[in-house]
A and B are shown apart, each in its own frame.
Chain A
Amino acid sequence: MSKNPIARTLQKILVNHFYQMNAGFFAFLFFVLFGVVKGGQLIDYHYSLIIAFLESPIILVGVIFAWILYTLKCSNYIIKRILEPRQLFLSSLNHLSNKQLFAWMLFVQVQVFAPVWVYATIASAVAIHLHHWAQAGIMILANLVLIVTAARWYSSTIRHHGTTAFLGKWELLQSIQWSIGFVKPVFSFAIFHLFRERKQMLLLTKLFTLLFLYGFIQLYEPYKPDPRPILLCFLLIVGSHSSLILQIRAFEREFLPFLRNLPVKISVRFLQLLLTYALLFLPEYIYVWSAYPLHFTLLEYPKIVLMVLSLAAFLHSILLVYDMLSEDYLNSVFGMMAVLFFVLLYNPGILFFLLVLLVAYVFFHHHIYG
Chain B
Amino acid sequence: MLQFRKVEKFYGAHLALTVPDLDLANGMYWIQGENGSGKTTFLKMLAGLHPFKGEIFLGPKNLGVSELGNEDNLGLGKEALRLRESNSEERSSEKPLSILKDRNEFLKKVNYAEAEPLYPPFLTAKDLVELYGATKKADIDAAKQQLEELHILDAYEQTVGTYSSGMVKKLSLVLAFMGNPDWILLDEPLITIDVAAVELVCKWINDWHAKKGISFLISSHQSFAGGLQFTGKLSVSDKTLHVEP
Contact = CB atoms under 8 A, between A and B. Distances in A.
Interface in B194-211: none
Contact of A178 (B49, B107, B122, B135): B122
Nearest to B123: A184
* Most central of A178, A258, A264 by chain B CB within 10 Å: A258
B79 interface: no
Contacts of B170: none
A256 B130 contact: no
A261 B122 contact: no
The interface centre, meaning the residue of A179, A254, A255 with most chain B CB atoms within 10 A of its CB, is: A179
A331 interface: no
Contact of B104 (A178, A257, A263): A263
B241 interface: no
A265 interface: yes
A175 interface: yes
Contact of A255 (B119, B131, B158): B119
A370 interface: yes
A184 B120 CA distance: 11
A12 interface: no
A202 to B, nearest CB: 14
Contacts of A255: 118-120
A307 B105 CA distance: 34
B219 to A, nearest CB: 16
Contact of B48 (A179, A193, A260, A265): A260
B87 interface: no
A370 B9 CA distance: 12
Contacts of B47: 260-261
Nearest to A174: B122
Interface residues of B, number: 35
Interface string A340-370: 0000000000000000000000000000011
Interface in A170-226: 174-175, 178-179, 183-184, 186, 189, 192-193, 196
Given A178-B159, A183-B130, A262-B136, A256 B105 contact: no
B119 A263 contact: no
Interface of B: 47-51, 103-108, 110-112, 114, 117-124, 126-127, 130-132, 135-136, 157-159, 161-162
26 contacts: A175-B159, A178-B124, A179-B159, A183-B130, A184-B122, A184-B123, A186-B131, A192-B120, A192-B122, A193-B120, A255-B120, A258-B49, A258-B117, A258-B118, A258-B119, A260-B47, A261-B47, A261-B107, A261-B112, A262-B131, A263-B103, A263-B104, A263-B105, A263-B136, A264-B135, A370-B51
Given A193-B120, A251-B120, A261-B112, 14 more contacts: A175-B161, A179-B157, A183-B130, A184-B122, A184-B127, A255-B119, A258-B117, A258-B119, A261-B49, A261-B111, A263-B103, A263-B106, A263-B107, A369-B48
